[in-house]
């Protein structure tokens, strides 16, 4: 039994003319050799079969159904013998697909591929991808073939999703090990670094709170530290008064605050003020004084001239180092500071005069120990009275310091001595520790 594939031959040579129907199978053959090979596999099944025109013979294979139809028999041919000559006059196949799935084709299947693969296109191949083999990662409707499945941006494992975060913007793909789910939206995932940007986590170990406060401390080039803390673990340095948000501090910078040089503390305050909105005014000299006092610089805290001079030097440094933001803020605040300094120096001189009068009063009050107490008195600060529209809203306050063992004698029984000093001087007299925290 031989087969002649006479698709192109003018004269049929066989005794049995057949049509091979491959439309129900997934086979796609090309060239006579492949058809002959297929026929060799089919022929044994036909051996001994009685032959009739119009009667189809069908085989089920793992490529699908294959059918042979007899269209013409030579006179006298009724049964297939070993030497029966077959002639395949036509092969019915599905129309050649214009877009075939390359992955299916490698497995010997011909499948329509509706999806394009960027990787294939870039490689100059016009192959497409079928529904079964198409790779669509979570997070973006971008199709690819299995060969061009993206790798994880971190570990090069096969990626499973595209990150929705501000750095990746659904372009970069990542694997499941590097997937962080949005806390509420199950369809949105982030890579670890984008998640950190979108949902900053509190720096406090074991706390999963969202970081709502960033550390404001800047490095030498003006970059904020940026460590985040949740509302519960946020540490603040209230440098701008109670009404305004103070400097955010991470644990490290909070711990280091007291050991920081005064001029560096002032740089941090001015830098944060400069980074905030335009209507955010740079603090007054008294505010710097207050903030220097609560970081342990008690001497400098009331020396407004030194504070002002340090701020001037800071401005020169910033103009030299190119930190124009801070330099600009310092320049804008300068005129106000000069006015404030003049008033403060006047107030400081007034404080010295009041202290001298207080010493006299103390000496007169207690003839025996009065001179000792008077000599131990130290001026901390005089706060001028607050007068608005001719009305005194708050009396002047003379803040003084005195060693604890002498304080009782100074105050007198039921505060009678200090009450007299207040009346005589026309100002309140308070120990430094009595200063209201603001
Ligand atoms: Zn496929
Ligand atoms: Zn591809
Ligand atoms: Zn990964
Ligand atoms: Zn990302
Ligand atoms: Zn926390
Ligand atoms: Zn920090």
pLDDT in tens, 198-207: 888 898 989 9
Distance 167 CA to ligand 4 centre (A): 5
Distance 82 CA to ligand 2 centre (A): 48
Distance 195 CA to ligand 5 centre (A): 17
Q: Which ligand gives the minimal distance to the CA of 172? A: 4
Q: Is residue 32 part of a domain?
A: yes
What local confidence, expressed as pLDDT, does residue 95 receive? 60
Q: Is residue 23 part of a domain?
A: yes
The predicted-structure confidence for 56-83, as pLDDT tens digits, reads as follows: 888 888 778 899 988 888 888 888 888 8
Q: Which ligand gives the minimal distance to the CA of 108? A: 1
Residues 79 and 6 in one domain: yes
- Could you say which of 64, 92, 120 is where a domain stops? 92
What local confidence, expressed as pLDDT, does residue 345 receive? 87
Q: How confident is the model at residue 30 (pLDDT cuts 50, 70, 90)?
A: low
Residues 177 and 106 in one domain: yes
Q: Is residue 13 part of a domain?
A: yes
Name the residue range of residue 247's domain. 202-259
CATH of the domain at 30: 3.10.330.10
Distance 255 CA to ligand 5 centre (A): 17
Residues 238 and 206 in one domain: yes
CATH of the domain at 363: 3.30.300
The rounded percent of the chain whose pLDDT value lies above 90 is: 43
Kindly state the average pLDDT of the residues 293-300. Answer: 90
- Could you say which of 45, 67, 92 is where a domain stops? 92
Distance 392 CA to ligand 4 centre (A): 60
**DSSP one-letter code for 84:** P
Residues 357 and 421 in one domain: yes
Question: How far is residue 264 from each of residues 117, 129, 191, measured CA to CA in Å?
Answer: 57, 62, 37
Q: Which ligand gives the minimal distance to the CA of 162? A: 4
User: pLDDT: is 282 or 230 the higher one?
Assistant: 230
Residues 229 and 183 in one domain: no
Give the contacts of 168 (CB within 8 A, at least 6 positions apart): 153, 162, 174, 190, 191, 194
Q: What is the CA radius of gyration of the chain?
A: 46
Q: Which ligand gives the minimal distance to the CA of 196? A: 4
pLDDT of 135 over the 90 cut: yes
CB of 243 closer than 8 Å to CB of 222: no
- Could you say which of 92, 118, 139 is where a domain stops? 92
pLDDT of 268 over the 80 cut: yes
Q: Which ligand gives the minimal distance to the CA of 178? A: 3
Question: How far is residue 381 from each of residues 75, 242, 285, 349, 376, measured CA to CA in Å?
Answer: 132, 21, 13, 10, 16
Residues 51 and 86 in one domain: yes
Q: Which ligand gives the minimal distance to the CA of 146? A: 2
When divided into structural domains, the chain yields a total of 4
What local confidence, expressed as pLDDT, does residue 325 receive? 82
Residues 142 and 65 in one domain: no
What local confidence, expressed as pLDDT, does residue 44 receive? 77
Residues 170 and 227 in one domain: no
Distance 255 CA to ligand 6 centre (A): 10
What local confidence, expressed as pLDDT, does residue 357 receive? 95
What local confidence, expressed as pLDDT, does residue 173 receive? 96
End-to-end alpha carbon distance in the chain? 109
The predicted-structure confidence for 390-425, as pLDDT tens digits, reads as follows: 888 899 999 999 999 999 999 999 999 999 999 999
pLDDT of 105 over the 80 cut: yes
The size of the chain, in residues, is 438
Q: Which two tokens stand for residue 358?
A: 């207080």
Distance 347 CA to ligand 2 centre (A): 80
pTM exceeds cut of 0.75:
no
d(CA 176, CA 158): 9
Residues 180 and 193 in one domain: yes
Q: How confident is the model at residue 2 (pLDDT cuts 50, 70, 90)?
A: very low
CB of 121 closer than 8 Å to CB of 148: no
Q: Is residue 289 part of a domain?
A: no
Q: Is residue 132 part of a domain?
A: yes
Q: Is residue 281 part of a domain?
A: no
pLDDT of 350 over the 60 cut: yes
Q: Residues whose CB is under 5 A from ligand 2 (ion)?
A: 117, 119-120, 145, 147-148
Residues 63 and 144 in one domain: no
pLDDT of 21 over the 50 cut: yes
Residues 112 and 176 in one domain: yes
Distance 225 CA to ligand 6 centre (A): 5
Distance 187 CA to ligand 5 centre (A): 27
Distance 126 CA to ligand 1 centre (A): 14
pLDDT of 92 over the 90 cut: no
Distance 180 CA to ligand 3 centre (A): 11
Distance 102 CA to ligand 1 centre (A): 7
Residues 230 and 187 in one domain: no
Q: Is residue 64 part of a domain?
A: yes
Distance 213 CA to ligand 5 centre (A): 10
Q: How confident is the model at residue 6 (pLDDT cuts 50, 70, 90)?
A: very low
Q: How confident is the model at residue 114 (pLDDT cuts 50, 70, 90)?
A: confident
Q: Is residue 317 part of a domain?
A: no
Mean pLDDT score across all residues of the chain: 86
Distance 137 CA to ligand 2 centre (A): 14
Question: How far is residue 294 from each of residues 238, 283, 380, 422, 438, measured CA to CA in Å?
Answer: 10, 15, 14, 27, 10
Q: What are phi and psi of 80, to 5 degrees?
A: -80, 125
CB of 383 closer than 8 Å to CB of 355: no
């Amino acid at each position: 039994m031989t087969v002649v594939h006479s698709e192109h031959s003018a004269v049929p040579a066989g005794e049995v003319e057949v049509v091979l129907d491959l439309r129900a199978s997934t086979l796609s053959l090309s060239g006579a050799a492949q058809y002959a090979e297929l026929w060799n596999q089919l022929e044994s099944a036909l051996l001994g079969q009685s032959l009739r025109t119009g009667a189809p013979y069908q085989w089920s294979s793992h490529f699908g159904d294959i059918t042979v139809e007899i269209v013409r028999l030579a006179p006298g041919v009724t049964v297939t013998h070993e030497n029966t000559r077959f002639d395949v006059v036509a092969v019915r196949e599905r129309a050649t697909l214009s877009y075939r799935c390359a992955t299916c084709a490698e497995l010997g299947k011909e499948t329509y591929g509706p999806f394009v693969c960027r990787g294939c296109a870039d490689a100059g191949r016009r192959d497409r991808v079928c529904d079964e083999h198409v790779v669509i990662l979570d997070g973006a409707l971008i199709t690819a073939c299995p060969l061009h499945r993206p790798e994880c941006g971190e570990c090069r494992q096969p990626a499973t999703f595209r990150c929705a975060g501000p750095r990746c913007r659904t372009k970069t793909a990542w694997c499941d090990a590097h997937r962080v789910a949005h806390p509420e939206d199950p369809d949105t995932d982030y890579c670890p670094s984008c998640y950190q940007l979108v949902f900053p986590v509190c720096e406090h170990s074991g706390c999963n709170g969202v970081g709502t406060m960033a550390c404001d401390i800047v490095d030498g080039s003006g970059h904020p530290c940026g460590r985040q803390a949740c509302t519960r673990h946020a540490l603040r340095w209230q440098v701008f008064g109670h009404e305004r948000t103070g400097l955010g501090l991470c644990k490290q910078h909070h711990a280091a605050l007291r050991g920081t040089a005064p001029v560096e503390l002032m740089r941090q305050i001015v830098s944060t003020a400069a980074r905030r909105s335009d209507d955010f005014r740079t603090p007054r000299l008294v505010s710097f004084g207050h903030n220097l006092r609560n970081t342990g610089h008690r001497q400098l805290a009331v020396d407004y001239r030194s504070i002002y001079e340090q701020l001037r030097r800071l401005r020169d440094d910033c103009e030299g180092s190119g930190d124009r933001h801070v330099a600009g803020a310092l320049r804008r605040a300068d005129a106000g500071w000069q006015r404030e300094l003049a008033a403060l120096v006047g107030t400081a001189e007034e404080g010295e005069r009041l202290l001298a009068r207080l010493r006299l009063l103390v000496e007169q009050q207690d003839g025996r120990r009065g001179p000792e107490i008077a000599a131990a008195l130290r001026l901390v600060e005089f706060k001028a009275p607050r007068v608005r529209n001719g009305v005194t809203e708050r009396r002047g306050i003379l803040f003084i310091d005195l060693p604890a063992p002498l304080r009782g004698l100074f105050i007198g029984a039921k505060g009678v001595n200090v009450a007299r000093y207040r009346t005589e001087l026309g100002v309140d007299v308070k120990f430094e520790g009595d200063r209201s925290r603001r």
